[in-house]
Copies of this chain bind each other. A is one copy, B any other.
Amino acid sequence: MSDQRKWVTMGDVARHAGVGTITVSRALRTPAKVSADTLKKVHKAVAALGYVRDDTAGALSSQRSRIVGALVSTLEQPVFASTIRGLEEGLRQGGLQLLLGSTRYQPDTEARMVSTLLGRRPDALILTSTTHTDETRRLLDNAGLPVVELWELPRDPVFAAVGFSNRAAGRDMVRHLVGSGRDRPAFLRTARASDTRADLREQGYRDALDGRAPRILAVPPHEDDSGPDYGARGLAQVLDRWPDTDALVCVSDALAVGAWCEAMRRGIEIPRRLAITGFGDIDIAGASGIGLTTVRVDGEAIGREAARLTIAATAGAPVQDRIIDLGYTLRVRATG
């Protein structure tokens, strides 16, 4: 940390280069509108002074912050890692910057963060959730900016959505299990109040039961417990309650991996005695030693597509498809 010296301003650069401030602005923002000669002078001055433009001031005068706020449900699990990567890269190409936050699946946290984010006057907002408090919904509606919701396909998106049908995916997975002879599948999830994606997958599970009695276990949230811990606890409780369960459909890969570990510890043969499936296809799911059967979602594509939509919308281009379904793939591996 150096001394209290103030920042170099655009005016300083202009003086040093012998041009007007506005020319410096153009040289940096729209180089095509400036002569090659002037451009060189400006760049030299910028380098000499170590100038870094104040985008905060730029945002104020242009009424465009070039910031896109994004709120993901969790950063603890890598589910959204690829989506964030896709988003970040896509937005960067459009000259936009990602302002990231995590809601931890709590609607009130989401409300607070949306409010904070709006204070930075982002050009758009991206949310990996479609369940909002009334307060949040009001803020979003009044903000007058594009809002893109991810990983689901809400019936009435605030503005647009990119995702897939969680319900269909859940249904397909259970059908696959039933089709390969599993007759008593159980569904394992965490008991979170507003995890719409989990609700939808559970609904898909019910859809596919076809008259069989549902075996649904919602592990209560517990301080300091992580995904795999829930999975291990969940498996124990499921077997406790329904000992003859022959397939465990987990709402996420993190849970599935935890359940798998617990099964290994107990010496339960997988998949002969018990099939285990996950959701998301995170990196570890594919590890050869586990080989988790799961639903693959192309998170990076979701991110890229959301970025494309966002760039188009902020540029004022008309957006045709407001609900984009990118689908999913059943990835059948060793565990079921």
Which A residues fall within an 8 A CB radius of B?
Answer: 1-5, 7, 50, 52-57, 59-60, 65, 75-78, 81-82, 84-85, 88, 97-102, 115-116, 118-121, 138-139, 141-147, 158-159, 226-229, 231-232, 254, 257-258, 260-265, 283-284, 286-290, 313
Q: Is the CB of B54 within 8 A of A119?
A: yes
Nearest chain-B residue to A322 (Cβ)? B1
Looking across the interface, which residue of chain B has its beta carbon closest to that of A61? Answer: B60
Q: List 11 A-B contacts (CB under 8 A).
A: A1-B144, A2-B142, A56-B119, A75-B78, A76-B85, A77-B78, A84-B102, A100-B100, A229-B286, A254-B283, A260-B289
In the bound complex, do residue B77 and residue A97 qualify as a contact, i.e. CB atoms below 8 Å apart?
no
For A232, give its contact among B76, B118, B288 (CB under 8 Å).
B288
State the oligomeric state as a number of copies: 2
**Residues from chain B with Cβ under 8 Å of A88 in the complex:** 101-102
Name the distance in Å between A136's Cβ and chain B's nearest Cβ.
Answer: 12
Q: Cβ of A228 and Cβ of B283 under 8 Å apart?
A: yes
Asked, given contacts A52-B119, A121-B54, whether A258 binds B287 with beta carbons under 8 Å apart, the answer is: yes
Question: CA of A188 to CA of B100 in the docked complex: distance in angstroms?
Answer: 33
Q: A50-B139, A77-B78, A144-B2 are in contact. Are A261 and B283 (CB under 8 A)?
A: no
> Which of B5, B56, B101, B287 is the one whose CB lies under 8 Å from A121?
B56
Bound-complex Cα distance A44 to B40 (A)? 54
- A sample of 5 more A-B contacts (CB under 8 A), given A75-B75, A84-B102, is A1-B144, A52-B119, A54-B121, A97-B120, A229-B286
Which residue in B1, B147, B261, B288 is a CB contact (below 8 Å) of A289? B261
- A235 shortest CB reach to chain B, Å: 10
- Is B144's CB under 8 angstroms from A56's CB? no
Would you give the shortest CB distance from A226 to chain B, in whole angstroms? 3
- B119 contacts A159, C-beta separation under 8 Å: no
Q: Is the CB of A289 within 8 A of B120?
A: no
- Cβ–Cβ contact A261 & B288, under 8 A: yes
| Chain B residue at smallest Cβ distance from A284 | B228
Q: A1-B147, A52-B119, A144-B2 are in contact. Are A265 and B288 (CB under 8 A)?
A: yes
Please name all residues of chain B whose beta carbon is closer than 8 Å to the beta carbon of A262 when the two chains form the complex: 287-289
Chain B residue contacts of A232, Cβ below 8 A: 287-289
- 7 residue pairs, one from A and one from B, having the closest CB atoms: A261-B289, A226-B283, A264-B289, A55-B119, A261-B287, A228-B287, A100-B100
Q: Which residues of B contact A65 (CB under 8 A)?
A: 56
